[in-house]
Structure formats: C-alpha cells, structure tokens
Structure 1
C-alpha cells in the first residue's frame, strides 16, 4: 500500500515570522509572559470583560502612567510600564487608544511621565480629544506593590471599569521601582 503526501502552497512559518496585527494572547499567564506583563494584561482583560459594551470601542482613550499613591506627583519605571502595558492590551482588544507621548501639552515632567490623577483632567480631555482616561495608582507595602486601575469617562467622571492587582517586590520589580522617585520599603 502506497502512502501519498499532499503538500500545500502556503509558505512554512519560521521562528522569525510575526503576525501582521498583534492579537490578545490566550490566558495571560504571569509565568508564561513575565510577571509584570502577565499581571498588566490580566488586569486589562478583567476591566474589558467587566465593562462589556458600556464603553464603545471607537471612543478615544488616553493612557497615563500609574502614580505613587503616597505622592500623586511621583511615579517610577514600574508605574510607566504598567500604564503602557495595559494600554497595549486595550489596543489589542480593539479600543481606540490615543498616544500621549506624541503630544507636547500633556503633563509631562522629566523622569515622571504622564500623570492623570490631577486637577487637569478637563485640560487633558480637550487637548487630546479623548473620551476617557486609563489611570492608576500603586502603593508599596513591605514585600508587595498594590495597583488600582480605572477607566474614567471624562464627560461625567464615571468609572467605567476598575481592577485591583498586586505584584511581589522581587529583583526586577525593585529595580523598576528604583528607576523613579518612589521610596522602596526595606527588604525582608
């Protein structure tokens, strides 16, 4: 009995092939994607699921750096990273994210990043023509960093979605917190 092999015309995928459009990955496991990325994506996914269809995909959203809850004028590399990763996840899910780094009038302070938890939200809304802002804060404990993220609609300050999550303060997290003005808790 002879075996016949059929081959298709599609080119073989190699390790260097990338999809044209970034898509949300299945189950954002912290172990599979890195601790910070996994936690950021899981939090964004939970917010998107919780929000349902209460906020339209086409409505522009601006993302901000997450700020230190003890000093709302302070952030760190970790606060900037989490804000950008959550923004990326919203983009991957089809939301219209506005890139604030391309604008010159955002509340940008050297070494601090875009801060949203201020009295200037109306100014930000007008300058960036956004309908909502993805904002957040973090608090440092002895061996964990606790985050709170919110999607806030500008027109009525209604919170459309919110999520809390935390990360253990290990080597990488400690280094990301050092790259900013955040005061680290003592090691245990």
Structure 2
C-alpha cells in the first residue's frame, strides 16, 4: 500500500510539472517588442505622427556609433514598420542613392548629415536607435527625433534575451 501511495504521488507530481511547463508563455520576440514600443511612443506623444514623413536610420552599437550589425538593420526595419502601422508616414530611402549606405553597416545617419538628409528626403523626423549587449540580454533604445533640431519626440526601450538567435544577428558587428 505504501508503494502504491508513493507511485500515485510521484505520478501526480510529474503531471503537475508537465502542466506548469506548458503554461509558461514564450518570451516576446523582437517584432512583438518593437510593435509594443511603437505603440508606447505614439501613446506618450499622440502628436508624433504630425512629424511625418520619417526616415529610419540603422540602429547602432552603443559602444561604437559607427558600427552596426544584422540586428541593427533588422530592428530598424521592424521598428519603422511598427511606427507606420501606428500612423507614421515612413519614407523609404533605400530606393534613392542620396543616403550613404555601406554594405556591412546599413544606413547610418551621423549628426552632421541629419539636416542635409532630412532636407533631401523631405523628412520631418528620423528614427534612430542604439543597442547594447549584456551577458544575458540585449538592450535596445529607440527614439524618433525632430529633423530640424534633433529634439526627441518619442522614445521607448526594451530588452531581449540574448539567445543563439540574437547572437547570430550580432555577429556581423565584429564579434559578440
């Protein structure tokens, strides 16, 4: 009888462990977090969409503002898409050859070029962002700045677990 009781408790414990593992939700991915960040930006400044059209710069490493990665390029693209879904008009600059594009870096906007580029693209705002790699997380800071004076119109931050997928996207920045 003792053996039967022990076996019943063991099976009940295993059943509960299996259920709790199934109830655990997956961590949000880059796309989800970028869309939530865009929603927060617009919610915190409903007038943000008045500063359309916007151009997007590649997100860069906080440790070297002239360096980016596949992560920096795709996070900028996803964030621009998310802001467009929130009502921001986004001007696609890859179709023109007037913005400096370096194959391994992407579209980098340096402060001295902001005025010229925003004027050339008739942009009222610019999406910019930085990221920093920690041991377990990748931290992202995104902001929309007014082209005329670089005043921040909206900003949002989020973090992603630093898993093998994120490490792969960061490898293009010269190692992680």
For normalisation by structure 2, the TM-score amounts to: 0.80
Q: Which residue of 2 aligns with 1:181?
A: 173
Q: Which residue of 2 aligns with 1:143?
A: 136
Q: What displacement does 1:109 show?
A: 0.7
CA distance in 1, matches of 2:62, 2:143: 14
Range that drifts further, 46-55 or 64-73 = 46-55
Q: What displacement does 1:183 show?
A: 3.1
Alignment RMSD: 1.8
Q: Identify unmatched segments of 5+ residues in structure 2.
A: 1-24
CA distance in 2, matches of 1:54, 1:90: 10
Q: Which has the higher helix share?
A: 2
8 A Cα contact 1:68 1:182, kept in partner: no
The answer to whether structure 1 residue 53 and structure 2 residue 47 are counterparts is yes
**SS of residue paired to 2:65:** coil
Structure with bigger gyration radius:
2
Q: Which residue of 2 aligns with 1:162?
A: 155
Q: What displacement does 1:51 show?
A: 1.3
8 A Cα contact 1:67 1:137, kept in partner: yes
**SS of residue paired to 1:102:** coil
Q: Identify unmatched segments of 5+ residues in structure 1.
A: 1-29
Q: How is 1:1-188 mapped onto 2 (pairs within 5 angstroms)?
A: 31=26, 35-56=29-50, 59-178=52-171, 180-184=172-176
When residues 93 and 54 of structure 1 are mapped into structure 2, their CA distance, relative to the original with a 3 A threshold, is: closer
For normalisation by structure 1, the TM-score amounts to: 0.75
Q: How many residues align?
A: 152
